[in-house]
Structures are given as structure tokens and as C-alpha cells.
Chain A
Amino acid sequence: MKFFKRLMCTARRKSPWLFHMNSGSCNGCDIEIVAALSPRYDAEQLGVRLEGSPRHADILVVTGPVTQKAAGAVKTVYDQVCGPKAVVAIGSCPATTNVFIDSRTLVGPLDKHLPVDVYVPGCPPRPDAIIAGVAKAAAILADRELNGPDAGPATPAAPRPPLGMTDEKGSPDVAEVRQ
């Protein structure tokens, strides 16, 4: 039994499949996500695959401050991802709503709507930071396999970076990759 658990833990760590969701981003972070899969950064070495359907994904990668129109869609897509799942917030927008703070068209930041596991700060973050964030989310999924059933509370509450600060090096769940 323990063998199967360890096997599943390794598999979770080695095969993170992403679904990319734009919640009103300026497209800067989306371009960087694509760059992370390009020949220069080659995220496929870690088993990362960008999936077309949220049903296939393990990790929901969200960009953008959550706009009023996108809020419902973000929740729907999160529910469509089958468990165990993790959420990675790419860029400063989903973490803090960034320069759009106090806008009346926003209902962000993201963690008002979803339990976020990893924040990747930056405007936009570098592709290697995104890859580090995804690897960290995959490690979190593997950890949950070993230490606790995924039936419990879906995600531990991740410390959110304080508003206005985009580079939180000390925070435990922020991908610690130099900008």
C-alpha cells in the first residue's frame, strides 16, 4: 500500500498538466507562459503539458486581476478541474490586482474566489519563475498525497502578499526565483 502511495506521489510530482485561464490579463503573463513552453525554457522536461480541457489538468494557471465578467468563469473552470488540483497565480495581478487596484470593474484579487497555492510575482514574471512556480505546485500536490487525503480542505490558506508589494521573497509559498 505504501509502495503505491509513493508511486502516486512521484507521478504527481513528475506530471503536472496545466490549464491556462486568463481572467482579464493584459496578455503579458500569457505570453510568458507560452515562452516557458518554448525551446529556450522547455518546461516539458518536467513533464509539464498545456492541456486544452480543464478536465485533464492538475494545475490551474490563472493570469490577470479577476474582472467582474471573469469571476464566474474562473470559479466554473476551477470546479471543472478534477481533484487533486492546485492553483498557481501568475503575475502580480491575481495576487494583488497590481496597478488596477480599487478599479470598479474588478472583483479580485484571485484568492477571494479560489484557494491559491502558489503566487509567482512579477509584471510579467520571467518564464523560469513560472516554471519554478509550477514545479512547486506539483510538489504541493505530491505532498498532499503523502501527508493527507485530498478529500479534506482542498488547499491550505496560502499567505497572501500584502497589497502594493509585488516581490515577496520571504513568503513561504512564493516561488523564490530572482526576477
Chain B
Amino acid sequence: MNLLTALARMLIFPGLLFAVPAAWFFLWIERMAVARMQQRVGPPFMQPFWDFVKLLGKSTPPRPGIAGFILRAWPLIAVSSAAGAVGLLPVLPSSGGFEGDLILLLALLELPSICIIAAGFSSRSLFGEIGSAREAALSVSYNIVFLLAIVSIAASQHTFRLEALAAMHPSFLTALGIAAILVCLPAKLHINPFSLPNAEQEIYAGPMTEYAGPELAMWELAHGLEWVAGTGLVATLVAPHIAISSWMGAWLAGCIFVALAFGIVLLLSVLAAATARLAIDSSVRFYWQATLIFAILAISSALFMRFRS
């Protein structure tokens, strides 16, 4: 039974069967929000799906040797780690078995961006290398804040277990931590104002410049899954804890999760549509100067409360 529920979590909800359509849906919301903000009609509902299918049917340039193999491997690693991160989200409490913890979730969330950096450099394209260098610089700056915020939440709850974190009671401290995570999400998802790594038209397509066809489809899917994982993480932290004893409770928890994730996607997409791309020095300065203070405040107060109790 444990194995069955664990498999259901990985494969159905919030795993692959839920995550892939949700990824396409969030990509559509992202494009639609930009369209609506510009008073356009925007792409049709199925657009990300059609894009995915079309990309699967395109040819790729020949990539001989081990370098080509590595180049093809990065998008697959990115997709699988992002899907794994979604599968780990504690939407429904598991009944024992493998649960995973916050550290694993953070590692899986971080892997796609490392893949992007590696992909840009291994593509040997000048634009890819510029994009990767930008992604690396950005990753160093936002991750400090992101990790400090999450660690402060974990420290205030005395645990790294995901379920305990999902069930925590809201406080000022956790609100501060969640706000810090929200500030980091645009950089993690490479959307405006922090769309530097894949700055379209400016450095062609950044690390993805050399990718084509099915490989590019995998990158698009990885991006969508990152949306689901990132917003899902915030949604599970924000969601009120529901004691699940029946199917009704599970349904309710699932619906609240989806609604909260949808709200966060909408918020971030509107922010992306309303802002322009910042230069790399402004982005790095924003995270190191403006938000680091709040993250340090959060973690120091969390540690202080921990020693007091």
C-alpha cells in the first residue's frame, strides 16, 4: 500500500500526470498575461501543447561524439529533476514510505538551472556562453536569499521534513520567508525583470541558442515544470493545513493547492508583463543589496527564536 501511494504521488498527483498538463497550462498563463497586459487576444489555450508536439517532430542538427551526447543529455536531466521536485511536493500527506525532505527538494529545484549553465557552455555557442555566464551570476545572487529564506522557515519549525513544513502554522516569520521566496522566483524562472540568461533577441536565445527540435521541447517542458515546482512550493507553504481523513479532504487539499499555485503564477506573470529586463549589474545588486537584508533578518530572528525556546 505504501509503495502504491508513493507511486501514485510520483506518477499521478502531484507527479507527472498532473505536472505536465499543469506545466503547459502555466506556460499558457505566462504568455496570456503578457498578451492581456498589451491588450492582445493572446495565444489559444492549447498553444504550449501544440508547440511541444511540433518541436518533437522537428529534426536536429547532427551532434557527433561525446560532446553531442552531453549536449543532448542536459535537457533530459533538467526535465527529470524538475518533475521529481514536483512529485516531492507535500500536497497530500503520504502514509509512510519515501517522503524526501526539504534538502532533496531544494537540490532538485536547483538542478535545472545548473543544467542550463552547463548546456550553454557545452553548446560552444558564443551566445550560449554569455547566457550561461549570466545565469551563473544570477544564480549566485538569488540563491543566497532563496536558501536563507527557506532555511529560516525550516529553523523556525525545527525540522527539514516537508510534511511538517506544509502543516506549520503561519506566523510573521514564515510570512517574511515566503515573501523572500516570492522575490526570488522570477529569477529562478528566468522571467522579467530577471530574464537575462535567455534574453530573447538580445543574445539570440542564450543557453538554448543551439538547441532544436525535441531537445528544445524538453527545455520548454522543464521550464513549465519549474513553474509548477516553484509556485507549488510556495503554495504548499501558504496553504492552510487540512486534516485529510477522507477522499473529500484530499480533493479539497488538491483544489486549494492548484488555486494557490494558479494565483502565484498569475501574480508573477503580470509582474513579468509589467516590467522590462534589468541589466546584469542591476539584478545582482538588487539581490545582494535590497533583499539580502530581509533574508538575514529572517534567519537571524529564526535562530534567535530557536535559542530562546
Q: Which residue of A lies closest to B199 (CB)?
A: A52
Q: Which residue of A lies closest to B200 (CB)?
A: A52
Say yes or no: B211 contacts A55, CB within 8 Å.
Answer: yes
Report the count of interface residues on B (CB-CB < 8 A): 34
Give 3 closest A-B pairs by Cβ, nearest first.
A11-B53, A11-B54, A55-B212
Q: Which residue of A lies closest to B209 (CB)?
A: A53
Binary interface profile of A, 5-18, with partner B (CB < 8 Å = 1, else 0)? 00110111011010
Kindly state whether residue A112 has any CB partner on chain B within 8 Å: no
Say yes or no: B213 contacts A82, CB within 8 Å.
Answer: yes
User: Which residues from A are CB-within-8-Å of B38?
Assistant: 39
Say yes or no: A47 contacts B50, CB within 8 Å.
Answer: yes
User: Which residues from A are CB-within-8-Å of B308?
Assistant: none
Kindly state whether residue B205 has any CB partner on chain A within 8 Å: yes
User: Which residues from A are CB-within-8-Å of B205?
Assistant: 51-53, 55-56
* CA distance in complex: A10, B46 (Å): 11
Kindly state whether residue B309 has any CB partner on chain A within 8 Å: no
- From A12, A42, A56, name the one whose CB has the most chain B CB atoms within 10 angstroms: A56
Pick 29 A–B contacts, CB within 8 A, sort by A: A7-B53, A8-B54, A11-B51, A11-B53, A12-B57, A14-B46, A14-B47, A15-B54, A39-B38, A39-B40, A42-B40, A42-B41, A42-B42, A44-B40, A44-B43, A45-B41, A47-B43, A47-B47, A50-B201, A51-B200, A52-B201, A52-B205, A53-B127, A53-B204, A53-B209, A55-B216, A82-B58, A82-B59, A83-B58
Q: Given known contacts A47-B50, A52-B204, A55-B211, is B40 in contact with A11 (CB within 8 Å)?
A: no
User: Which residues from B are CB-within-8-Å of A24?
Assistant: none
Q: Given known contacts A44-B31, A52-B205, is B40 in contact with A58 (CB within 8 Å)?
A: no
User: Which residues from A are CB-within-8-Å of B47?
Assistant: 14-15, 47
Say yes or no: A47 contacts B204, CB within 8 Å.
Answer: no
Additional A-B contacts beyond A45-B43, A52-B205 (17; CB < 8 A): A8-B53, A11-B51, A11-B54, A14-B44, A15-B50, A42-B41, A42-B42, A45-B40, A49-B51, A50-B201, A52-B209, A55-B211, A55-B216, A82-B61, A82-B213, A83-B59, A84-B59
Min CB–CB distance A33 → chain B (angstroms): 13
User: Which residues from B are CB-within-8-Å of A12?
Assistant: 54, 57
Binary interface profile of B, 78-98, with partner A (CB < 8 Å = 1, else 0)? 000000000000000000000
Q: Which residue of A lies closest to B211 (CB)?
A: A55
Say yes or no: A44 contacts B216, CB within 8 Å.
Answer: no
Residues of chain B in range 42-74 having any CB-CB distance to chain A below 8 Å: 42-44, 46-47, 50-51, 53-54, 57-61
* CA distance in complex: A80, B50 (Å): 22
* CA distance in complex: A12, B50 (Å): 8
Kindly state whether residue B208 has any CB partner on chain A within 8 Å: yes
* CA distance in complex: A14, B41 (Å): 16
Residues of chain B in range 207-253 having any CB-CB distance to chain A below 8 Å: 208-213, 216
